[in-house]
Structure 1
Amino acid sequence: MAQPQFEEIVETFEFLDDWEERYRHVIEIGKAMDPLPEAERIPATKVDGCASQVWLVPQIEGQGPSAVFRFHGDSDAMIVRGLIAILQALYSGLSAGDVGKVDAGAEMGRLGLNDHLSAQRSNGLRAMVERIRQLSARTAAA
């Protein structure tokens, strides 16, 4: 169910030989993201459970389970910005009803992230995924 943008990231990771190269690539993906406007860095968009500052802002087109789910986000940590960009590639463009069907752990595992992120980063990644699932579930139920 992964989006084409995510599949491109998976393919790129397959060509990178070691985790150092993959880590740098995650940071580069994050650097390529547009920064989140300061007006959207508010408590309502902040993700709890992350060691760094993380904000996720939904962008919903339509209503109910067939609404198209997208989001943008930002962080004060470069690696986390990259993780946000990867999550955008994984989820953006799916219907709100399909977001909850994505096995984020398995998909991120395809990138080898599960083995190389610190416990704090792994917890933060889970918190971001949970926030995305909550936002899409609210949209699907509307």
Structure 2
Amino acid sequence: MSQIKGLNSLMKKLDRLGGDSHKSLKVGIKQANKMVQGEAKGLAPTGDSGLLKNSIKEKVEEKNGIITGKVSTNLHYAPYVEFGTGQRGEGSPSPPKSPENLNYRQDWAGMDAQPFLYPALKNNKGKVLDIVKEQLKKDIQKMGGS
């Protein structure tokens, strides 16, 4: 989870002006999600007629006052594509290895990792933070602040 420098002060400023920083934050996270989702779809291999690419979804969730943006897929084989399988998967210079036990069987050559979700976020981390900040600034300006 990343902290955005200056985020709290922007949120307080918007609230002082009569805006809704919570709503603004959700809008910014949604915009950032869409950008990461687009890149993930562009990076996803298309060997399965686009099924993987089309399964990549984004959503904004709020739990206990914490707003989280998620870009994911629910396809059962997606982790194997992202992290690879067998000996080749274990040796792939891929994103960090899966927290799930993918069981890189040593008796099987497998396939190389073809990461698409991790690099989509990593490549855009700075942009994600900027999008969220810019949304708050935009809403501050709408409320007459600077």
Q: What's the TM-score once normalised by structure 2's chain length?
A: 0.31
Considering fraction of residues, name the structure with more helix: 1
